[in-house]
Structures are given as C-alpha cells and as structure tokens.
Amino acid sequence: MKLKEIVKELNLKVITAKDSLDKEVIGGYASDLLSDVIANSKDSNIWVTLQIHQNIVAVASMKNLSGIILVNAREPEKDTVEKAEQENIAIMASNLPAFEVIGRLYALGICGKKQC
C-alpha cells in the first residue's frame, strides 16, 4: 500500500515531504522510545509515535521508514519540519490517539509482522 492511500483512508494531515507519498508501506511499527525504533523497525515500515523531536527524522531516514504518523494532533517542532523536508521524510498527523491509528492501519492490512 502507498503512503497516499493511508493518508486518504486515515484522513491524515500531511505536514512534510508532500511529494514523497508514492512511497510503498510495508508493515508498521509503533514506539515512542527511539532506541527501540532503531533496534526493531523494518525497512519501509510506517512509524506511529508521539515524539516530535527532530531525532525522529534521523531515525526514520536511517531505518528507511516510509513515513511517520504523529498521534493526538501533535505538531512537530520547527527544526523537525526542516529536517524532514531535507531528508524527504513524510510526517503526517492524526487527531486520533495511537490506539485508534494503529487499529485503523491494521484494518487496512498494515501489520507489525510479515503477515497479519
């Protein structure tokens, strides 16, 4: 599934890297502990978090994640937005809490393991 389909289905607000939405999403990962994301997320995962610090962009870039969904309508910091534009990492925001966002992603067939 492509990022843009997820944006549409979950009604996400795209904050950065609007032209990166053709990226393919393969599975997802949810964590607010960035060291854990570095250790356990997989290539092309979509990442669900509430962290808005600029390090989220570096982690997404390093792990080649397809994009970041911020929950609870969290707004990224200015330097986070700038870094994300530079690195072409899509940051998308949802008004929903993490539990709902992840549930909806799962219902779309995005899972944490190879197969749902």
Partner 1 sequence: MLKEFIGDLHIHTCLSPCGDKDMVPTRIVKEAQNLGLNFIGISDHNSVENIFAVKKVGEKFGVKVLGGIEITSEEEVHILAFFDEDWSLVKIQEIVYENLGNEENDETLFGEQLIIDENDRIIGKNRRFLIGATELKVEEIVDVIHNLDGLAIAAHVDRESFGIIGQLGFIPKELKLDAVEVSKKIQNSKFKIQNLPVVSFSDAHRIEDIGKSFTTFFLEEVTVNEIKKALLNQDGRGVI
Q: Which residues bind partner 1 (CB under 8 A)?
A: 33-35, 37-38, 51, 53-55, 58-59, 77
Q: How far is the CB of 52 from partner 1 (least distance, A)?
A: 8
Q: How far is the CB of 86 from partner 1 (least distance, A)?
A: 14
For partner 1, the closer CB: 4 or 53: 53
For partner 1, the closer CB: 14 or 50: 50
Q: How far is the CB of 47 from partner 1 (least distance, A)?
A: 12
Helices assigned H by DSSP within the chain: 3-10, 34-40, 55-62, 78-87, 98-107
For partner 1, the closer CB: 51 or 94: 51
Is-contact 2 24, C-beta < 8 A? Answer: yes
